[in-house]
Structure 1
Amino acid sequence: MKAIIIDDEKHVREGIQLLAEWHKYGIKEVFEAKDGEEAKTIINAQKPELVFTDMNMPNVDGIALLKWLDRLGYLNEVIVISGYDDYQYMRNAIYYGSFDYILKPIEPDVLNETLERAVTHWRERDQKQQFDLENDKVAKVVKPIYWDHLFSGIIDRSSVSEETLQKIKKEINVDIRNVPCTVALLHISFMIEQVFDRDEELAFFTLLNICNEYIGEAGVCFRNVNQRDQIVILLWDNVQGKSYIQKIHEAIYSFSARYCTTVVGAERQSVASAYHSAKETLLTFNLLNVKRWKQVVTRDKTDSRPVIHLLDYSQEISWALQSGSKGKIDEILDQLFQSMESTCNLSIKQLQIWEQQFEILKSNWLKEYQIDEPSLPSKRLCYWEEDGCFSFEYFQREKREDFYHLIDLLSDAKYCKSKSSIEEIAEYLVQHYDQDIKLQDIADHFYLSREYIARKFKQSYGDTVIGYLTNIRMEKAIDLLENPPFKNSGNRFKSRLSKRKIF
């Protein structure tokens, strides 16, 4: 802690320096000033917790100094020391919150008892102030989260409880039941990925601050906790509000050099209906038709044409994957992409449907081939240009790569499965060489066709199944002939064979 003694009489300052038990009460530095003017400079620089001041001083007296300290507003305890038992001084000291008032000549006991109480009081006030600051910090974090959840809850409901309505009215001084409103939506998935390096909290904090700078009392901005990538702006000043949305759109571009997908729905009487209108606008506007992303997308930009469902093409896609032909996959995808560009609606809804149905089909195909679920390449959903505009070229390229990746996985699985089956057949022949084995028996045992076994076995071992089995039997016969119990009989057998001119 620090203290300052302000008095125009040097011997008074020196007396207080000597009489006070500074170290006992944790005061490590004590400064001196001869008047209020000099004291201001020291106080501004050092921020002492304890201020001892005379009242009757030249230049800036004690009353002026007390007024200045009151305006300064930092935490301190002021102890007034004066040789004048004057009511005017006392009244000002009390009014401006001085801790105590003691008279000259100063008695050591009175000085130290006052010093002790002042230090204790300052520490209590400081502790309370720190506690209040912590509470304020928590409130600043928790309150936005609370209102995010509250507003996120009402935008999807046709009816809202009276209690909730009253809370909203108390907070924003608007009865949302009786005010026509409009909803704007910011679709920020691209911003989260590219601008904020996947830090969702930072993205929402930054973008909501930008929104709040412009909206003011025209509406309220909040994070839709039911959507990972959506900021909602609820407007009840429908005239000024829409111009604010355009300003927000431009401000986000100025901040990030990227356009954020921003849509505005139709004006409605209820919050839920207004949100539904904005949501439909967001999901159904055609990404290929919005050429000037500098403009906010409005309700008239929606497209009622159908979207493409991958599930409708699952059989053709499955045959192409089984064939391992990337050319056949390209033919199917070219047909789908052409439809998207000419007769269908390439919207955010279309992107979502494609991803959902691709995941379903992928999962089924992998299960069929008994492949553990792999991760697709990490850089996906990357069909936005650097400025945030949608790129149909990037979309096509990424979707082709997804299917090429699947073809490679399935081809590797078929190869491994085929190789494993042929190896099992070879092992089976080694174990059952002494039995009468026919190719059909092997086909039945392994649930494979004779033709497939014959072709794959020849490719893997360079011999037919029967030739491979005969070689095994010959090797076993040679091993037996080399054993002593069979050696003599083997020699006699060879002798007979030589007489027949077989050897």
Structure 2
Amino acid sequence: MKAIIIDDEKHVREGILLLANWEHVGITEVLEATDGEKGIQLIKAHKPEIIFTDMSMPNKDGITLLKWIHSSELKSKTIVVSGYDDFHYMRSALYYGSFDYILKPIDRNLLNETLERAVLKWREQDEKRQSLLEKNRVINEVKPLYWDQLLTGVIYQKNPSTATIQKILKEFKINVDKVKCIVSILPIHKFLIQKFNGNRDVAFFAILNIVNEVVRNKNRGIGFRNLNKEDEIIILLWNAPQPHFIVEKIYAIIYQFIKMKCTIFMGDEMTCTLHSYQSASMVLQKYPLLEGEIEKKVVTPKEINHKTNLHLLDYGQELKWALQRCSKDNLNEILQRLFKQLWESHNLSIEQLQLWDKQFKILRKNWLEEYDMDEYEDNFNGDGFWNEDGSFSFQKFTEVKQKEFHNLMNLLEKEKYQKGRTSIQEIESYLREHYYLDIKLQDIADRFFLSREYISRKFKQVYHVTLTEYVTEIRIEKSKELLENPHLKIYDIAKEVGYKDEKYYSKVFKKINGQTPNQYRQYIRTGLHTPSSS
């Protein structure tokens, strides 16, 4: 703690310095000033907790000093030390908040008793001040969380409760149950959080400050965290003129601040906040990411196309065979074909990314089960598709997805090497190599020294089809490769893959593919995609 003695008489200052028990009350530094003017300068610079002052001084006297202390709302305790037992001085001292009034000559005991009481009072009041500051700090921290919770509920409820409506009306002077609102979504990507040294809370705090600086002006709306989604800021606008312009302004300020393209997805204007949020979510999910090369500040429902999604499950068997053969060339050829289709014929959106990831996990789980392997934890979260400015990179997407399949292929190949091939896998390999022969179940049982019942049961458990169905699938797939050669006759192809009867081959082919071999060949010639297997 600090104290200051303000008196134009040197012997008075020295007397207080000598008589006061500073160490006992915890004062470690004592300043001196010869008049009120110099005293004010030192008080401003050092902010002492205890002030001793005379009343009669040159330049600024004690009353002027007390007026200044009172108007400055200092928390110091002031003790007047005066040689005048004057009612005017005493009244002024009390009026301007002096803690006590001591007469000269100074009595040691009275001085120390007054000093001790002043320090004790200052500490009591300071403890209350700190408690109040802490309480206000907690309130300020909790208040945004309270409104985040309340407003998150509003965008997920068709009919908010009367209590919720009343709270919003009281705080924002708006009836969200009656007024038309627009909900927009501002996604918070990982790269944006990295701009704030990886601190998610600081990132949300900074971006929300920008949002609310714009929308709270003239009470146009509010921004808040969607507590049901860890990566969403919601911009709720009500009765806002030119809402598109307001949201574009938010985009521009964020870009100016952190140099990131944070596209904002705007829903339709509706009286129901739930429906507007659903509209904005649809825009976010279906927005074509490949258009991201052209800077889009705000996207609305009118700008969404209706192209279909690509389903990885449709190519599951083809991918499985490439993995089982451990053929990277074949796997890459399939993936490049899928990437080309995504680019040319489908809508590569957040929805498509999530669908691909979901179906890849389904296929991976099934393939691992065939090798009696447990599902492993995949830490991939899709962050690798984005450039540092927030734009989507199709090249990075293809690289990441190809790497996922290569990692899976390496894992399966390693497992096969470590565990060796089971009898059923040996049978599968034999069927793949001799599919064109008329193989009987008894022949397989004799060759591998297993019962027919065990082979049938175990094979279907591992490959989910019977031996006959599996051989048929191999034959049909091999025949497709041969059909790409226009010089081969249908009956020659049928014979090559193990069918003596061309008509029976055509019947089986149509049952699996939904078209005859000739129709399939026509599709190849015209460059059209083959319909999905039935």
Name 2:392's counterpart in structure 1. Answer: 390
Q: Is the 8 A contact 2:292 2:392 kept in 1?
A: no
* Residue of structure 1 in register with 2:416 after alignment: 414
For 1:444, the equivalent position in structure 2 comes to: 450
| Deviation by residue 1:225-246 (Cα, 9 ceiling, x = unmatched) | 1112111111124215543322
What residue in structure 1 maps to residue 312 of structure 2? 310
Secondary structure of 1:79 counterpart: strand
The question of whether the paired residues in 2 share the 8 Å contact of 1:186 and 1:232 is answered with yes
Q: CA contact under 8 A between 1:265 and 1:275: conserved in structure 2?
A: yes
Q: 1:117 maps to which residue?
A: 117
Alpha carbons of structure 1 residues 345 and 243: separation in structure 2 relative to 1, 3 Å: same
- Matches of 2:187 and 2:68, distance apart in 1: 51
Q: C-alpha distance in 1, partners of 2:95/2:281?
A: 59
Q: Which moved more, 1:119-128 or 1:143-152?
A: 143-152
Task: Out of 439-448 and 284-293, give the one that drifted further.
Answer: 439-448
Given that 1:148 and 1:224 are in contact with CA atoms closer than 8 Å, whether structure 2 keeps it comes out as yes
Structure 1 distance, partners of 2:196, 2:423, is 50
Match of 2:14 in 1: 14
- Shift of the 320–443 alpha-carbon distance from structure 1 to 2, 3 Å rule, reads same
- Residues 323 and 441 (structure 1), Cα distance of their counterparts in 2 relative to 1, 3 Å cut: closer
Cα separation, partners in 2 of 1:163 and 1:83, compared to 1, 3 Å: farther
Residue type of the partner of 1:444?
L
SS of 1:182's equivalent?
A: strand
**Which residue of structure 1 lines up, in the alignment, with residue 235 of structure 2?**
233
State percent identity of aligned pairs: 48
Aligned to 1:75: 75
Q: What's the RMSD between the two structures over aligned residues?
A: 2.9
Going from structure 1 to structure 2, the CA distance change for 1:240 and 1:78 (only over 3 Å counts) comes to: farther
> What is the Cα deviation at residue 418 of structure 1?
2.3
Q: CA deviation at 1:290?
A: 4.0
Change (3 A) 1:178 1:325: same
CA deviations on 1:11-30 (whole Å, 9 max, x unpaired) are 33233223322222222222
Deviations 1:341-391 (A, max 9, x none): 233221111112222222222222222222233455868531112322111
1:86-485 equivalent positions in 2, closer than 5 A: 86=86, 88-192=88-192, 194-196=194-196, 198-216=198-216, 217-239=219-241, 241-293=243-295, 295-375=297-377, 381-418=383-420, 443-444=449-450
Retained in 2: the 8 A contact 1:221–1:231?
Answer: yes
Structure 2 vs 1, CA of residues 250 and 364 (structure 1 numbering), >3 Å: closer, same or farther? same
Once residues 284 and 88 of structure 1 are traced to their aligned partners in structure 2, the CA distance between those partners, rounded to angstroms, is 81
Q: Over residues 161-211 of structure 1, what are the superposed CA-to-partner deviations in whole Å (9 max), with x where a residue is unaligned?
A: 122222223333332223221122111124356534654223222222232
1:351–1:442 CA distance, 2 compared to 1 (3 A):
closer
Q: Distance in 1 between matches of 2:166 and 2:412?
A: 59
Local SS of the residue matching 1:48: coil
Query: What's the offset of the Cα at 1:151?
Result: 1.4
Please say which structure displays the higher CA radius of gyration.
Answer: 1
**1:269-325 Cα distance to aligned partner (Å, 9 max, x none):** 122222122111111121123443252222322222222232333333323322322
CA displacement at 1:156 relative to structure 2: 0.8
Length, aligned pairs only = 433
Alpha-carbon shift at residue 97 of structure 1 (Å): 2.7
* Distance in structure 2 (CA, Å) of the matches to 1:413 and 1:103: 96
**Runs in 1 of length 4+ with deviation above 6 angstroms?**
445-449
Separation in structure 2 between the aligned mates of residue 448 and residue 81 of structure 1, nearest angstrom:
109
The whole-number CA distance in structure 1 between the counterparts of 2:334 and 2:193 is 30
CA separation in 2, counterparts of 1:101 and 1:178? 64
**Aligned equivalents of 2:360, 2:48: Cα separation in 1:** 68
Return the alpha-carbon distance in structure 2 between the equivalents of residues 377 and 26 of structure 1.
Answer: 57
